[in-house]
Amino acid sequence: MPGVSARHLSLEERRQLAVNLTRVLALCRPILDAYIIEFFTDNLWGTLPDSWQAALDGLNPPQLATLLLGMPGEGEVVRYRSVWPLTLLALKSTATSLAFTRTPGFHTPSEFLENPSQSSRLTAPFRKHVRPKKQHEIRRLGELVKKLSDLTGCTQVVDVGSGQGHLSRFMSLGLGLMVKSIEGDQRLVERAQHLDQELLQALKKEEKRNPQVREEGTTACGARPPSTAESGCPSGPPGPREPCGGLLQPGPAAGPTGGDADSTRPAALPSGAGLPC
């Protein structure tokens, strides 16, 4: 599917593209902010204009994709069973003209060379239940926060809207930051707490397999269950003899420009780790 590539745009062209994208995103905010589950729980279909409902009602997913994306299958012709309202056609045309190209203009990031579905720069516990795109995002964002924390002397990080806690867990256990996670959706909090416990169990198993890790002094906060109030946070700070350092360290952090340099394999999983807050 053709699309926009900002790679060869001038600074002014990029600025204008950002303005156009921001304007369209603001107009379509109700649609963009909707989750699939909310389609069923919040009657999102009823929020669409009547003319849109008349045009889209009864279309199955392949038909809808063909009409919206303009990408018919082999030997297939795009046919509209009725005249679409101008507002829907305008949205389709605008989205097509502003969509970024799906053809990469760069090589595959080094962390996905061995396995396109698993980042080699995240240890297995941080990759579990996380899609490749998200793996890449939490690593890059976590390393950026770590770098800013070191530069500014920040000792506490607050992850607002932490969702299932993937980023919080990586910043806390992977990069040794003191993290407080805040999430307003109780379902996501419960899921995050479940994943916290799952990770703690993995750490305990690793400690049993490699008891010498603790003796070598490479561990930090003792394992404790997360608090029920906030995902990923134990009740109370680490004890006086529990220094919080970087745990489950991945390869070297990306450079200041955010490049994706090749790195060594992640370190082995240490034992007895907690979730520092």
Indicate if 124 and 212 belong to the same structural domain.
yes
Average the pLDDT over 243-263 and give the result.
38
Lowest mean pLDDT among 19-23, 43-47, 143-147: 43-47
Instruction: Look up residue 225 and give its amino acid.
Output: P
Distance between CA atoms of residues 224 and 235, nearest Å: 8
Question: What's the token pair of residue 201?
Answer: 């169990």
Q: 104 lies in a domain?
A: no
Domain boundary (55, 72, 98) is at 98
Distance between CA atoms of residues 240 and 261, nearest Å: 37
Q: In this predicted model, what pLDDT tens digit does every residue of 61-118 receive, in sequence order? A: 888 888 887 766 677 777 888 889 999 999 888 888 888 877 666 666 677 777 777 7
Domain boundary (43, 68, 98) is at 98
> pLDDT value at position 259?
41
Distance between CA atoms of residues 31 and 51, nearest Å: 16
Indicate if 224 and 154 belong to the same structural domain.
yes
Domain boundary (98, 120, 141) is at 98
- Domain span at residue 94 reads 6-98
Number of structural domains found in the chain: 2
Indicate if 128 and 80 belong to the same structural domain.
no
- Residue showing tokens 């795109």: 133
Q: What are phi and psi of 158, to 5 degrees?
A: -115, 120
DSSP state of 262: -
Instruction: Look up residue 270 and give its amino acid.
Output: P
Q: 210 lies in a domain?
A: yes
| Residue with the larger pLDDT of the pair 169 and 244 | 169
Q: 265 lies in a domain?
A: yes
Indicate if 31 and 127 belong to the same structural domain.
no
